[in-house]
Amino acid sequence: MDAFIGFLQNTQPVVLLSMAVGLLIAGVFVVVFHGRRHLRSNEPPAVPGLPLIGNLLQLKEKKPHQTFAKWAEKYGPIYSIKTGASKLIVLNSTQVAKEAMVAKFSSISTRKLSKALTILTCDKKMVATSDYDDFHKLVKRCIITNLLGAGAQKQLRGHRDVMVSNMIENLETTIKENPSGAVNFRDLFKDELFRLALKEALGQDIESIYVPELGKELTKKDLYNVLVVDPMTGAIEVDWRDFFPYLRWVPNSKWEEKIQRMASNKYVVMKALINEHKRRIQHGEGTNSYLKHLLSLETLTEEHLISLVWEVIIEASDTTAVITEWAMYQLAKNPDRQDRLYDEIKEVCGTEKVTEEHLPQLHYLNCVFHETLRRHSPVPIVPLRFVHEDTQLGGFDIPAEAEIAINLYACNMNKEEWAEPDEWRPERFLEGTHEFSDLYKTMAFGAGKRACAGSIQAMLITCISIARFVQGYGWRLVEGDEDKVDTVQLTAQRLQPLCVYVKPRK
């Protein structure tokens, strides 16, 4: 939205005049078209906005999930807003979100991607961004069978064990070098998680790679920036023309160049990584990797392969880091709860190191995981769904061609469903209302046919990491950090990396 306002301030009067004429003509169409739509009797309540731009100015804070949740208090769990020319139906309770994701899935199964996401995902060529079609079914089966399902995760246990022991080793070194200093948790965790993601996707860790199209050797840090940081930033970059499709002809070249550069860097780096891995396979060195399984499908194009392998890297590297960082923040902030978890680990494991075999007995740890998912849902709003036939939600008529925003943040912070939702209180999951083994106690992993494919991996990595961190060390926040809960725009990532005092337990 800032980009939109900046654009208005910096644009030549003649372009603004032709835009105004365009808006006027489009406005007439919108009013006529809308007038027709409003003949429908039973659509969800609409949040009042301005002509033509609708509710866009009310969203300029860039935390739409929070604004949507506030509106839900006034307009109820389901309402509509206007983002320029599009109508967006916003869902804010578990009940209505589940209805959309499960019961009415057949009418709401396609995606509506922003321009940025369309460019970055090579136009829906990934599991998470594709429409629900034969391609989706094929690649989802492939990712579950070979990488993310329970059986495949068992096979990949070694990668997780190495990840955890590397993190503990690095933590020890950091503490030895500066015993009284604060540790940057994000640096400690993200490097090892990225290493694991590379191993899963490509069968081996990669320190550097020569990329012919860029004419240079990229280090692991460069790889992380090109494959994870830049696309995450790009994915939430708004092209204001998304809201006014009839103004597509107005150039927004700065924005387009930026996203195209990110997409093309990612593309050529992935191509180099895949070619390198193919060479190793030809020399009989191909270890077990997701790429090897994708290659065996034979029907996929280069764009498909690049997008699907990159998908694993970015999905494995991001959300799990976000949730573990929040869990360690909350444990450091709440010493009594940290003690409770430590006591549980002592009772279950005695003097042994915690391993994944202990996880089913660590009930409080499970509560810490789910409460962090609830309070800090890493995916606050599910990528928009598109209604492809008239349907009903929450008793309201939903017209075809509406877009649906499922606000997972609001579902997990809904006062009707969760007592004192602002409080981080893991004990709420011990109150007998939730099954221990249910990974979907909150809406954080979505629901139905498009529910998160990586929930088992996320749970295993997060829980074993938290358990080892708390078993070996006491965690304490740096003074003054108690209220640092701001996030990066519409994501749930902490605005500032967690820096925390870590003391080895005796």
> Under the rule (CB under 6 A), what is the footprint of ligand HEM?
127-128, 140, 143, 148, 312, 315-316, 319-320, 323, 378-379, 382-383, 408, 444-446, 450, 452-454, 457-458
CB of 255 to ligand HEM, least distance (A): 25
Cα angle 254, 255, 257; round to 5: 65
Q: How many alpha carbons lie under 13 Å from residue 106 in its C-beta half-sphere? A: 1
Report d(CA 216, CA 142) in Å as an integer: 33
Q: Choose between 55 and 377: whose C-beta lies nearer to ligand HEM.
A: 377
Query: Does residue 94 contact residue 417 with C-beta atoms inside 8 Å?
Result: yes
Q: Choose between 43 and 311: whose C-beta lies nearer to ligand HEM.
A: 311
In the block, residue with structure tokens 């064990």: 161
CB of 482 to ligand HEM, least distance (A): 24
Report d(CA 490, CA 488) in Å as an integer: 6
DSSP state of 274: H
Report d(CA 188, CA 36) in Å as an integer: 56
Report d(CA 109, CA 388) in Å as an integer: 8
Q: Choose between 259 and 461: whose C-beta lies nearer to ligand HEM.
A: 461
CB of 57 to ligand HEM, least distance (A): 28
Q: Choose between 32 and 297: whose C-beta lies nearer to ligand HEM.
A: 297
Report d(CA 365, CA 342) in Å as an integer: 9
Q: What are phi and psi of 301, to 5 degrees?
A: -80, 175
CB of 324 to ligand HEM, least distance (A): 8
CB of 425 to ligand HEM, least distance (A): 19
Cβ partners under 8 Å of residue 350, min gap 6: none
The closest residue (CB) to ligand HEM is 454
Q: What are phi and psi of 475, to 5 degrees?
A: -115, 130
Q: What are phi and psi of 398, to 5 degrees?
A: -120, 115
Q: Choose between 259 and 453: whose C-beta lies nearer to ligand HEM.
A: 453
CB of 151 to ligand HEM, least distance (A): 15
CB of 383 to ligand HEM, least distance (A): 6
Q: Choose between 255 and 493: whose C-beta lies nearer to ligand HEM.
A: 493
Report d(CA 47, CA 488) in Å as an integer: 26
DSSP state of 506: -
Q: Choose between 260 and 288: whose C-beta lies nearer to ligand HEM.
A: 288
Distances (CA, A) of 450 to 104, 160, 256, 404, 464: 12, 25, 30, 14, 26
Using alpha carbons, select from 138, 118, 144, 145 the residue that is nearest to residue 129: 118
The alpha carbon of residue 427 and the mean position of all alpha carbons in its chain are separated, in whole angstroms, by 26
Report d(CA 53, CA 1) in Å as an integer: 11
CB of 130 to ligand HEM, least distance (A): 7
Q: Choose between 53 and 121: whose C-beta lies nearer to ligand HEM.
A: 121
How many of the other CB atoms lie within 10 Å of CB of 95? 14
Report d(CA 385, CA 406) in Å as an integer: 8
Using alpha carbons, select from 319, 361, 316 the residue that is nearest to residue 341: 361
Q: Choose between 443 and 470: whose C-beta lies nearer to ligand HEM.
A: 443
Report d(CA 457, CA 459) in Å as an integer: 5
Q: Choose between 4 and 153: whose C-beta lies nearer to ligand HEM.
A: 153
Q: Known binder of ligand: residue 452?
A: yes
Report d(CA 444, CA 408) in Å as an integer: 6
CB of 54 to ligand HEM, least distance (A): 24
Q: What are phi and psi of 312, to 5 degrees?
A: -65, -40
CB of 289 to ligand HEM, least distance (A): 13
How many of the other CB atoms lie within 10 Å of CB of 42? 9
CB of 471 to ligand HEM, least distance (A): 21
Q: Choose between 148 and 188: whose C-beta lies nearer to ligand HEM.
A: 148
DSSP state of 399: -
**Binding site listing for heme:** 452
**Binding site listing:** 452
